[in-house]
Amino acid sequence: MKMALQYWQAKGEARQRFLTFRNGYHGDTFGAMSVCDPDNSMHSLWKGYLPENLFAPARKAAWMANGMSAIWWALPA
């Protein structure tokens, strides 16, 4: 994220927002929390303190469409 912001700053453009997917989790630092799902996580507690970014709908993964759980999908065959 820092490098992306630095790139646009070096080009003289004031781009400061990121596009990310809903239902994502990226960590617990302020930068990472700003691109985590804003509604379905504890990060909603920090709304108003975190930079605002753009959120796109998350596509269902293949294992979700087939009714499998994430645990089953991760197990070796």
Per-residue pLDDT at 67? 61
Candidates 31, 33, 38, 36; CA nearest to 16 is: 31
pLDDT in tens, 26-76: 888 888 888 888 887 777 788 888 888 899 988 776 666 666 655 555 666
Candidates 38, 3, 7, 34; CA nearest to 18 is: 34
pTM comes to 0.65
Question: Residue 55 to residues 4, 24, 34, 39: CA-CA distances in angstroms?
Answer: 17, 10, 10, 11
Per-residue pLDDT at 32? 87
- Cα three-residue angle 62-66-70, rounded to 5 degrees: 65
Place of tokens 């691109």: 35
